[in-house]
Amino acid sequence: MPAVRGRVRQAGAGLPSQLPPVFRMQGRLLSPLPLQLSDGDGPRRAPPGVLGEASDAPVSTPNSHVEDLLEAIFTEREGGRDQAGEVMARASRHAGGISPAALDDLVKAGLARLVEGRVLFTPEGERRARGVVRRHRLTERLFRDLLQLSDGAMESQACQIEHILSPEATDSVCTLLGHPPTCPHGKAIPPGPCCGALSKTVRPLVTGLPSFELGVLGRIVFVAPRFHDRMDRLAALGIIPGSEIRLRQRSPSYVIEVGETTVALDPEIATEIYVKRIGN
């Protein structure tokens, strides 16, 4: 790991000058994480800054513009918008180089349909769109929670890596983070096979509060409440990302220590709090 840290410091590209302590973990926790490139028509260049190459040029692959457009359609649909004009306008802002003809290409490829001006996914288009959105949002979570990148660097790097992560690497990242339900912006991360299988290949660095160890010091990484006003109530108790806590009991209610305060939580609320261990 010292050699890796040295290369990262030399490359820069938006990464912090020092890696957080989590990267001083034992190698046995990282060994099951194969970072493979997905299959394609030819060799692809790794995103700048990831393997030590300092460059601001975006990664471009034969499928990157298709995936950018699929992601834009998926994201617009989450906001209740599916009109072709709105989708293409957002796609142009999100990723330069997408021409108006790209939507026609998507239709010809059998990934989308146009129905009275609305853009609808085919089953294959839905599958591929969920995949790229999942990779993007997991990468955002990885860069925010573990690498502590700024919002701009996090978004820029995620837009590149979403095009090259293999399914195996994506599931490994998801497991490493403890299967997070949302990205740093609060948007849902589409679940993958690893989420249902509850893979134990890699011990999650981030876990839900119910499965956190009793008496161990932890730090809240993120809170994903189902209701917005619940976030305000938790914040008033000091239960916010960055707070250090200890889980004291699980039944009949979850009892945690936050600083000098002891708080009892309903099981439903406890499942919305995600924690990572501090120290070994």
Comparing 90 with 67, the larger pLDDT belongs to 67
pLDDT of residue 177: 83
Task: Assess whether pLDDT exceeds 90 at residue 184.
Answer: no
- Tens digit of each residue's pLDDT (9 = 90 or more) over 76-106: 888 888 888 888 887 777 666 667 778 888 8
Q: Report the alpha-carbon distance of residue 81 to residue 74 in Å, rounded.
A: 9
Tell me which H or E stretch contains 137.
helix 123-145
pLDDT of residue 7: 42
The pLDDT of 236-251, averaged and rounded, is 92
Closest CA to 108 of 87, 94, 92, 124: 124
Confidence band of 170 (pLDDT split at 50, 70, 90): very high
Task: Assess whether pLDDT exceeds 90 at residue 6.
Answer: no
The answer to whether the CB of 267 falls within 8 A of the CB of 210 is yes
Task: Assess whether pLDDT exceeds 80 at residue 279.
Answer: no
Task: Assess whether pLDDT exceeds 90 at residue 38.
Answer: no
Task: Assess whether pLDDT exceeds 90 at residue 226.
Answer: no
Task: Assess whether pLDDT exceeds 90 at residue 124.
Answer: yes
- Tens digit of each residue's pLDDT (9 = 90 or more) over 133-142: 999 999 998 8
Confidence band of 211 (pLDDT split at 50, 70, 90): confident
Query: Among the listed ranges 30-34, 133-137, 213-217, 266-270, which one has the minimum average pLDDT value?
Result: 30-34
The pLDDT of 175-192, averaged and rounded, is 88
Q: Which two tokens stand for residue 110?
A: 């059998």
* Domains of the chain in sequence order: 2-56+130-197 (1.10.60.10), 80-121 (no CATH), 206-277 (2.30.30.90)
Distances (CA, A) of 163 to 109, 139, 221, 266: 18, 11, 26, 40
Comparing 255 with 58, the larger pLDDT belongs to 255
pLDDT of residue 272: 87
Comparing 65 with 61, the larger pLDDT belongs to 65
Comparing 266 with 148, the larger pLDDT belongs to 266
Confidence band of 64 (pLDDT split at 50, 70, 90): confident
pTM for the full model?
0.55
pLDDT of residue 9: 43
Helix (H, G, I), strand (E, B) or coil at 264: strand
The answer to whether the CB of 259 falls within 8 A of the CB of 243 is yes
Tell me which H or E stretch contains 276.
strand 273-277
Q: Report the alpha-carbon distance of residue 267 to residue 254 in Å, rounded.
A: 7
DSSP 154-178: HHHHHHHHTTTB-HHHHHHHHHHTT
The pLDDT of 100-117, averaged and rounded, is 87
